[in-house]
Amino acid sequence: MSFSTDTQVDEAYAQVSTTFSSHKTKSLRWRTHQIQRVWWMLEDNKERIVEALYKDLHKHKLEALSVDVCGIQTACVYTLKHLKSWASDDKPSRFNPLNFFGGTRVRKEPKGVVLILSAWNYPFMELLEPMISALAAGCCVVLKPSELATASQALIQEIVPQYLDQDAIQVLTAGPAEMKYILQKRWDHIFFTGSAAVGKIIYENAARYLTSVTLELGGQSPAFVSAKADIDLAAKRIAAAKFMNAGQVCLSVNHVFVDPIVKEEFISSLTKHFEQFLGGSHIPDYYSHIINKRNFDRLSALLDQTSGKIVYGGERNPETLGFSPTVVVDVSPSDSLMSEELFGPILPILDATLDEAISHTTNNERPLAIYPFTTSQAEKDKILGSTISGGVCINDAIVHTLSEGAPFGGTGYSGIGAYHGPYGFKEFTHMRTVVDIPKWMDIILRPRFPPYTEKSAIALANAFRPVDKVWFDRDAAYET
């Protein structure tokens, strides 16, 4: 596999930098046209995208089309419908004389030349969806697809230049060695999807130039199955989430805390639904495989080291990299399966009351998502009030990311920043405050000019004092 040379990196960076300096990409017409072209690029090549994902991950057409084609097209259409309003100036409330007479406004300006780095599990969506946000903001973009999804990388490298403006959008290929050189460039923003370990490397390199970053990471996202849950529904939806892309999803259910009162019922329902989903074969043809041998061996080692009991699955095929959904019970918090984000089809089950599940989650790194399963509103409120995570999906898993106008992102170890809809636009946008002060305002602002006097101090304070009387007392009493 050949990667971009240092010379090619220099040329690509120089090209997009020159284009951004020309202000070409600031035009709403240009932005709109490029996003429309993304939609048609996907539409014209959807069967090739499906084929590439099958080669890379043995991914079925259902998953490939819904996420890596239609999901990105949804982002295109949503962005096109709202772009004009997103890009319009904001006008702050007229709270003081400057806001009113100075015509204070906030311009939405592109950050500049941005680098977007994708992971291998959704190689099109994780690259092109943030690119749509960057194009909407008016940025120039350098794309770096994952080198581990080789068929997808090759297709991206081929079709992006065919459909999009090469002056403003470039594709580079790189492994870890080549990435060191790419990260030496002075980017105006870096958007990365991948592991926390690599995210730290990206962050460290960005700090050299104080470059802003969006880090879409992952973590150990738990499901809580309460004694008050609809047990069969919880089992079906957790099984479906774990089945998706063989668990190779940053938002997948990493482990399940189940109340001991309903444990046996939950496990029985869980294995029943896995049997239904798998159609009698533990590694059916419509089921994704592990991306490569390194990850296959990593998952196998974790499973071999567990002190828990395998009650379902466990089948592995090192030749095809097929790895069946595997349910492991009687897992302790110190077990090998709890030592890292699994990112695979292994599902550890831990006995825990709701309070114990909350305590374990809050005492560890903040996850990308939490999945509470309960019919009790009091329990839902308790979980929301006692935990911190990137997102929460109650009585289901993963599907909260389909909310196009809502932010998707992590917090702490699970990420920095968020995207989707207006939030993606903001990630690639600099909010620039503009005030135009007329000459006559010196009548109001005259006290600011030296020499300072007692009279001028009082006059200026009165001019900018927000209210004569506040609604709270000296003890700052508040109502609950």
Active-site residues, by number, are 216, 250
Q: Is 324 exposed, middle or buried (0-12, 13-18, 19+ CB in 10 A)?
A: buried
Cα dist. 425→1, 126, 405 in Å?
A: 34, 15, 11
Q: How far apart are CA 271 and CA 236, in angstroms?
A: 9
Q: How far apart are CA 476 and CA 290, in angstroms?
A: 57
Cα dist. 97→89, 210, 405, 443, 453 in Å?
A: 19, 34, 34, 12, 22
- Collect all residues with Cβ–Cβ distance below 8 Å to 358 and sequence separation of at least 6: 224, 382, 383, 386, 387
Pair 193, 117: CB distance under 8 Å:
yes
Q: Is 467 exposed, middle or buried (0-12, 13-18, 19+ CB in 10 A)?
A: exposed
